[in-house]
Amino acid sequence: MSDSTTRLKVAILVLPEATASTVYGMYDLFASTGRDWEFLVDGKPGPSKIEPFTVSRDGQRFRAGNGVWIEPEYTLDNGPAPDVICIPELLIDPNADPTGCYVPETHWITRYYSGGATLATACSGALLLAEAGLLDGQDATTHWGYTDALVSRYPEIRIHSNRALVVSGEGQRIVMAGGGTSWLDVTLFLIARFVGVEAAMRVARVNLIDWHVIGQQPFASLTLARQVNDAVIADCQSWIAQHYDQESPVAAMVKRSGLTDRTFKRRFTKATGLSPMEYVHTLRLEEAKQMLETSDLAVEAVALEVGYEDTSFFGRLFRRKVGLTPAQYRKRFGQLRQVLQTSAP
């Protein structure tokens, strides 16, 4: 696999809505496979096992979604036949209708997928596969901020918003990573699948890459900040954001709304996608996460601060909703926050 005719060919599809960090980050990791480890250990670069290249609709230089210039190497029509097609995230409004915006790209993706190519998406890049109809009836994931849009626009897709990586499709040839930086996961996965696990481990060691084992669950509830069209429920949302820690918060919202208990719960669930009590739990857990990251309060004290007198219930709920115990969450994200704070100017 040392020459360009036998190396795995990986096309990175670039669009104006892509971010350059993902495009060139994937490019660098693929190109380093088989090369950089040998250089660090033996002092001489080894042959690269993968040939990455960038491809776009017209091959013209453009500014990416984050303002960085990208100069594609090929057009959709004149590039090498890819073994793998990678689709980085699309920096677009989750509620925007993409119908008709990416017709050349979806036709190109479908043609090579039908010919046996593997497809891989990072973050919101899954939108292109959904537009192509390739995810109908399939398991999928995407960034938590785009989950609701995919669920409503493409009801045939089985979305797993809590999973950082999903493999599906015919012959397991569709690989999707959820969160923004989980493109690292999908890149390592592809290296392991096509070149070997040891090659992927070497790339991870050289670049100090840590697998995103916890998925997206700790962050998914941030979508609660979205506005709703029901003015009464929106008012209750604003109120509960400041009073989630009081006793009987749902009863207080019912009283504030002026609605009957049954009507309030129906309208609240319709507007937010969660029952009132689920919504309260989520707000409380968000505050608990913030406190676990930024303070030394005991877990019992954190539970009381956010409205739970039963610490055992709080611990079970936190583990079920977040995927980590409160102590595990503090260890992982509290340390990360400390590192970022100490490294800031």
- Comparing CA positions, the residue from 197, 194, 218, 199 lying closest to residue 144 is 218
So what's the pLDDT on residue 229?
81
91 φψ region: left (φ > 0), alpha (ψ -120 to 50), beta (else): beta
In CATH, what number is assigned to the domain containing residue 286? 1.10.10.60
* Domain enclosing residue 261, as ranges: 227-343
Structure tokens at 36: 């950089």
Residue 193 sits in the same domain as residue 324: no
In CATH, what number is assigned to the domain containing residue 87? 3.40.50.880
Any domain includes 216: no
Q: How many domains does the chain have?
A: 2
Reported as a single tens digit per residue, the pLDDT across 130-178 is 999 999 999 888 888 888 888 888 889 998 877 778 888 888 899 988 7
Picking from 210, 239, 274, the residue at the C-terminal end of a domain is 210
186/33 Cα distance (integer angstroms): 14
So what's the pLDDT on residue 29?
95
Which residues of the chain fall below pLDDT 70? 1-5, 179-180, 210-228, 335-345
Contacts 24+ apart (CB under 8 A), 59-65: 62/16, 63/16, 64/14, 64/16, 64/17, 64/18, 64/19, 64/20, 64/23, 65/16, 65/17, 65/18, 65/19, 65/90, 65/91
- Give the list of residues 6+ apart from residue 320 with CB closer than 8 angstroms, or none: none
Picking from 177, 210, 243, the residue at the C-terminal end of a domain is 210
Residue 27 sits in the same domain as residue 146: yes
106/125 Cα distance (integer angstroms): 12
Residue 121 sits in the same domain as residue 168: yes
